[in-house]
Structure 1
Amino acid sequence: MNLKVILADDHPIVLFGVRMALVQDPGIEICGEAADSTELIELLDRLNPDVLISDFYMPGGAHGDGLTLVTFVKRRYPQVKLIILTMMTNPSILESIIRAGTEGILLKSAVQDDVLDAIRQVASGHKYVAEAVKKLLEEFRLEHLNSRGDASHKELSKKESEVLRLFVSGHTVSEIATLLNRSVKTISHQKISAQQKLGIANDKQLYEYAVRSGLM
Structure 2
Amino acid sequence: MPIRVVLAEDDVLLRKGLAQLIDAEPGLEVAGEAADLSTALEQIDTLRPDVVVTDIRMPPMKKDEGIRLAALLREQHPSIGVVVLSQHKEPAYAYALFEHGVAGRGYLIKERVAEVRDLTDAVRQVAAGLSVVDPAVVETMVRTRSSGKRSALDALTPRELEVLRHMAQGKSNAAIGKVLGLTEGAVQKNTNAIFAKLGIAEERDINKRVRAVLLFLDQDG
Would the TM-score normalized by the shorter structure come out above 0.5? yes
Gaps of 5+ in 2: 150-218
Pair 1:92 & 2:92 matched: yes
Work out the CA distance in 1 between the residues paired with 2:117 and 2:143. Answer: 22
Q: 2:167: which partner in 1?
A: none
Measured at CA, do residues 99 and 35 of structure 1 come closer, stay the same or move farther in structure 2, by a change above 3 Å? same
Q: 1:26: which partner in 2?
A: 26
User: What does the per-residue CA deviation read over 1:153-212, in whole Å, with 9 as the maximum and x for residues that have no partner?
Assistant: xxxxxxxxxxxxxxxxxxxxxxxxxxxxxxxxxxxxxxxxxxxxxxxxxxxxxxxxxxxx
Q: CA deviation at 1:68?
A: 3.0
Pair 1:104 & 2:106 matched: yes
Q: Share of identical aligned residues, percent?
A: 32
1:10-159 matches, cutoff 5 A: 10-60=10-60, 65-101=65-101, 103-111=105-113, 112=116, 114-141=118-145
Instruction: Figure out how many residues of one structure are paired with residues of the other and give that number.
Output: 144
User: What does the per-residue CA deviation read over 1:129-152, in whole Å, with 9 as the maximum and x for residues that have no partner?
Assistant: 1222223223334xxxx9589xxx
Work out the CA distance in 2 between the residues paired with 1:121 and 1:148. Answer: 32
Q: CA deviation at 1:53?
A: 0.6
CA contact (8 A) 1:67 1:100 kept: no
Measured at CA, do residues 131 and 18 of structure 1 come closer, stay the same or move farther in structure 2, by a change above 3 Å? farther
User: What does the per-residue CA deviation read over 1:25-47, in whole Å, with 9 as the maximum and x for residues that have no partner?
Assistant: 12101110001112111111111
- After superposition, the CA RMSD in angstroms is 2.6
Q: 2:156: which partner in 1?
A: none
CA contact (8 A) 1:98 1:105 kept: no
State TM-score, norm by structure 2.
0.57
Measured at CA, do residues 101 and 54 of structure 1 come closer, stay the same or move farther in structure 2, by a change above 3 Å? farther
